[in-house]
Amino acid sequence: MERNPDHRAFWALADDFIAEGAVEEGTMMGHHCLRSTRGGGFVATVERSSGHLVVKLPRIRVGELIDAGIGAPFAPAGKVFREWVAVSTEYVSQWESLVGESIEFVSKV
């Protein structure tokens, strides 16, 4: 499966975390994602159509990001995933720290 060239911001960030050994590339729901190298849990992906970052975080943190207007519920096919949040490219400056938070969270689960 090839990486979507429209998602350059995500893959530039992902490649840095991959090079550090924190994550590896995998697949989730039929498209590319990042998985923790400590336990293999899903960490992050990029939405195909919107290009939004989707990260796994504690429910409380997801709620904080949604309440702050930074994130939106991640609800593929209408089902809300409570530990996942979609963050638009408008907040790309926060993506690195959010992926870092996700790596920490997933590694503890």
Per residue in 28-70, pLDDT tens? 877 789 999 998 899 999 998 889 999 999 999 999 999 999 9
Contact 31, 14 (CB under 8 A): no
pLDDT at 103: 96
Mean pLDDT, residues 71-90: 94
Write the CA distances from 37 to 68, 74, 95, 107, integer angstroms. Answer: 30, 23, 19, 8
Mean pLDDT of the chain: 92
pTM over 0.85: yes
For residues 19 and 17, give the distance between their C-alpha atoms in angstroms, rounded to a whole number.
5
Beta bridge mates, 55? 44, 85
Q: What are phi and psi of 100, to 5 degrees?
A: -60, -45
The three-state secondary structure class of 88 is coil
